[in-house]
Amino acid sequence: MTPVTTFAGRTVAVFGLGKSGLASCRALIAGGAGVVAGDDSPAGRETAARMGAAVEDLTQADWSRFAALVLAPGVPLTHPEPHWVVRKARETGVEVIGDIELYARERARRAPEAPFVAITGTNGKSTTTALTAHILKSAGRDVQTGGNIGTAVLALEPPAPGRCHVIEMSSFQIELTPTLAPTVGILLNVTPDHLDRHGTMEAYAGLKARLVQDALHPVVGDDDDWCRDITERLRLADRGWVDILSAHSRVRRGWYANDSTLVSGAPWTGPAGAFADLAGIGSLRGRHNIQNALAASAAAMHLGVTPAQMAAALKTFPGLPHRLEEIGRIGRTLFINDSKATNADSAATALAAFDRDVLWILGGRPKAGGITPLTAFFPRVAKAYLIGEATEAFAATLDGRVPFVRCGTLDKAVAAASADAAAGDAPEPIVLLSPACASFDHYRNFEVRGDAFRALVAALPGIELRGGRGA
């Protein structure tokens, strides 16, 4: 835990008692602050009370005594309208911040030189965060990982010289972190997302830009127009040393790729040239993972990791569950869990990772637009196996373009796809769960859906699971 001493002797309101809110309560109390906590959930209120927080109805509280409001990132700050607790704070002049702002202030007070890597982007930030931490740990560094992925930042060990924090940040968290100034700030990409929360693409992109604008080493993707505009604005603001990531080799400077080979160059002033090859690394397959690997490499090399250490660490990265996760093989057939693909854009990333012979399991609760945007990838699909509420809509899109079968449920789809793979003559058939849908018709979330797929595959006769286990 990181005790927060910057509010010692003062009283702070905390609203939203989930993972980050409860960690904030604990850290503030440990640092000597008084905490008044509020939440709609009785369980959250009870937990905060056991920690020593005063639990009150914040609609009736005396807000003049609060030095700050620490807000959970899921609570609306501006759109579609400010939450009532935000309006209360603003009416009384109380600053509204988040848990990562508490961390940033504590770092500035306790260990301002402690390495801090902050990572954001519409897509890929979880993989990049996990990969950056993996590389640094492989190089023998003391690493703490969390934020939007895994552990709340204040539940991690505190900032200290030589201890690196690698923190994933959503746009919601950036919005609540006004003094964010990481050692390395990475912005991977910007595509439309969370517009119900931020109002416009300009506002959403502007928040993403805040993560890199005060970074000692800003690293920005070069593969979308929004990020290219952010890079140009950084340069106009005399940040000419901004590193760029070009997964599609649109430019050949900064951090880019020659096919699967990763290359570093100016304005980076460290070891330049090819430093790693992703060919054959199953956990980093696909063009999107080239961007993730370039970003993680840039962060680690800015913190002193050598090219040789980098290349070795990339080969041992296990990947993240439900993101092009390699489950195992039966003979020639490879089984891939991409349950995280809850929309067409995410499924496109998965389909782009395989050239041919894909046995595609898809469906669930459909999103707007369906799978029509994926038409360009249909030639890669040998057959589709439809499940869930989207079955008929997806069947209409695939009709005459891709052979398909209506399976209804995931267990039937896995059985049908594995049988077709065994009966066919493809050199390496790919049984791919990449649903392009939400899971809520049959499963609580995409993790539960992915776990169900993993269990079904693990039960298949002759399976050799990744790591050597098998049925």
Angle 287-302/125-138 helices, nearest 10 degrees? 40
Task: Give the Cα separation of 249 and 368 in Å (integer).
Answer: 31
Residue 449, SS3 per DSSP: helix
Catalytic-residue membership of 194 = yes
Q: Which two tokens stand for residue 384?
A: 């589709």
Q: How many CB atoms lie within 10 A of CB 395?
A: 16
Helices and strands in the chain, H and E counts: 15, 23
Going by C-alpha positions, the residue among 171, 189, 178 that lies closest to residue 294 is 189
The catalytic position among 88, 123, 148, 322 is 148
Residue whose structure tokens are 């896995």: 414
Cα-to-chain-centroid distance, residue 325: 15
CA distance between the termini of the chain:
41
Residue 260: exposure state from Cβ atoms within 10 A (0-12, 13-18, ≥19): middle
Residue whose structure tokens are 């931490």: 133
DSSP 158: P
Catalytic-residue membership of 198 = no
Is 299 in contact with 186 (CB distance < 8 Å)?
Answer: yes
Catalytic-residue membership of 148 = yes
The catalytic position among 19, 194, 367, 412 is 194
What b/e readout covers 21-53, taking b as 16+ CB neighbours within 10 angstroms? bbbbbbbbbbbebbbbbbbeeeebbebbeeeeb
Contacts of 236 (CB under 8 A, 6+ apart): none
Q: Which two tokens stand for residue 441?
A: 């018709």
Q: How many CB atoms lie within 10 A of CB 311?
A: 17
Q: Which helix (H) or strand (E) holds 418?
A: helix 410-423
Residues annotated as catalytic (active site), given as ranges: 125, 148, 194
